[in-house]
Amino acid sequence: MDETDGLPPRERRRAIVTIVIAVAISVMSTAIANIALPTMAQELQASPSASIWVVNAYQLAVTVSLLPLASLGDIKGYKLVYLCGLIVFTIASIACGLANSLPMLVAARVAQGIGGAGIMSVNTALVRFIFPKARLGRGIAMMGLIVAVSSASGPSLAAAILAAASWHWLFLINAPFGALAVWLALRSLPVTPRSGQSFDFASAGLNALTFGFILVGLDGIGHGSDHAQVAIELAIGLIAGFVFIRLQRTRTAPMLPVDLFRLPIFALSVATSISSYAAQTIAYLALPFFFQVAGGLSQSRVGLLITPWPAIVVIVAPLAGRLSDKFSAGLLGGLGLAVLTVGLLLARTLSPHADFLDVMWRMMVCGIGFGFFQSPNNRAIISAAPRNRSGAASGMLSTARLSGQTIGGVTVALIFGFTHGDIATGVSLALLTAAVFSGVACGVSFLRMTQPAPV
């Protein structure tokens, strides 16, 4: 295989199908269980608060596993980590579907999250070896497109499955798709170079402590947990993070890619990603409350109102990916985020009883802006890293997305708590905050235009 020019067209198409299937089922599993939580809690005789761990366990497992598995991909090869992640994810999905108690389901979700992290940690690194360099932007745009569509369609797919079958099938449905993806992966994914380094178990442990305790602490803030407990969790996470960063500075191939953060284009692109995903998540969480609680609309009607945003991303992302092969991510991302900021400010002017067209064109403005940011930004993160550090860059790309989504979720919870149940005021403040996040990301993106393009 010519490492600089990707796979031949026929092999490339098979590899693309493999990655599309695997990424879709792993990303969708992040949100697909939400809609069935009340039913799960009732059937498994669990309290609502305990049942939240069906969601949290998966999210936590993914977050703490991403960087270690990305590092393992650099060491052992991206195909091996991807295949193992896919196999673990598929088997764990079957275990979730067969679970007959909450502890069993949560344990299976942890395993499913680790498998999902194996897929998400190196999928973009694999794209770098599947596509020719001249088409890298298109390949990364495709990944962004799959993530966006899977995230947006998860609740709708869950509702369709639950209309015809029990909640167990939310997980069992992954099995045939996972098996197909494994079969295709064995035959199509490229074998990539290995770094020859040893796996850093100390860094993996500190990574788990850092992200695990910070994520649990932030979640506790959002759910109004005991202040002392939250403070202890965040303190442990921050102390572990301080030691983690100090340790990474002594490593030649650090798990937390501090070496890549010395590259301004990489650091600025990660910052842009975190802030932008925080803005998107705030809007995605706040607007349904606005229309459903203040406007009295049904859940399906609310979903229809929000759909134009992810739908327009599907159209814009491939175009932005093509343009990113010719124009700088700083320019394309900055312009896109400027449009997103305007769209979020326009969304603040909506009435809870606005008609579909009034909502639709504003959501489309947001979608156009986000779509033009996403693909070029992801390309910048991956292409800024040396080829032997593609796994670290890929893991950081997913970590940045999840970090932004976590920050966005906590921000909405804090704003709603601050406004004491006044939904209209809370949503207006949330959208203003989202616009601030987007505006900051816009400014950071334009800063990249002063930096040389990655070779």
Same topology for domains 1-196 and 256-455, yes or no?
A: yes
SS3 state at 226: coil
pTM confidence score = 0.81
Token code pair at residue 256 = 């937390």
Rounded to whole angstroms, the Cα distance separating 125 from 80 reads 13
- The residue ranges of every structural domain in the chain are 1-196, 201-250, 256-455
CB 130 within 8 A of CB 1: no
In the prediction, which pLDDT does 31 show?
64
Rg (CA), the chain: 21
Token code pair at residue 352 = 């809870």
Token code pair at residue 168 = 């167990």
Please measure the distance between the N-terminal and C-terminal CA atoms of the chain and give it in whole angstroms. Answer: 21
Closest by CA position to 376, among listed 437, 335, 436, 315: 335
Distance of CA 183 to the CA centre of its chain: 25
In the prediction, which pLDDT does 453 show?
59
Match 């859940």 to its residue by tokens: 299
- The residue count of the chain comes to 455
Q: Which residues contact 420 (CB under 8 A, 6 or more apart)?
A: none
In the prediction, which pLDDT does 201 show?
92
Rounded to whole angstroms, the Cα distance separating 75 from 69 reads 10
SS3 state at 63: helix
In the prediction, which pLDDT does 2 show?
43
Q: Is residue 79 within a helix (H) or strand (E), and if so which, with residue range?
A: helix 78-98
In the prediction, which pLDDT does 454 show?
55
Rounded to whole angstroms, the Cα distance separating 110 from 46 reads 18
Alpha helices in 249-355 (DSSP H): 258-261, 264-289, 299-306, 308-324, 329-347
- Determine whether domain 256-455 maps to CATH 1.20.1250.20: yes
In the prediction, which pLDDT does 215 show?
83
Alpha helices in 249-263 (DSSP H): 258-261
In the prediction, which pLDDT does 439 show?
96
How many CA atoms does the CB half-sphere of 149 hold within 13 Å?
Answer: 18
**One pLDDT digit (tens) per residue for the chain, 455 residues:** 444 567 787 888 888 889 889 888 887 876 677 667 677 888 888 776 677 788 778 888 988 999 999 999 989 899 999 999 999 999 999 999 999 898 999 999 999 999 999 998 888 888 888 888 778 877 777 777 787 777 767 767 777 787 788 889 989 999 999 999 999 999 888 888 887 788 999 999 999 999 889 888 887 776 667 888 989 999 999 999 999 999 999 988 899 889 899 899 999 999 999 999 999 988 888 888 777 776 677 666 776 777 788 778 878 888 888 888 888 888 999 999 999 999 999 999 988 788 888 888 999 999 999 988 888 888 888 888 887 888 888 889 888 988 888 888 888 878 887 887 677 888 899 999 999 999 999 999 999 887 765 55
Looking at domain 1-196, which of 1.10.3720.10, 3.60.15.10, 1.20.1250.20, 2.30.30.20 is its CATH number? 1.20.1250.20
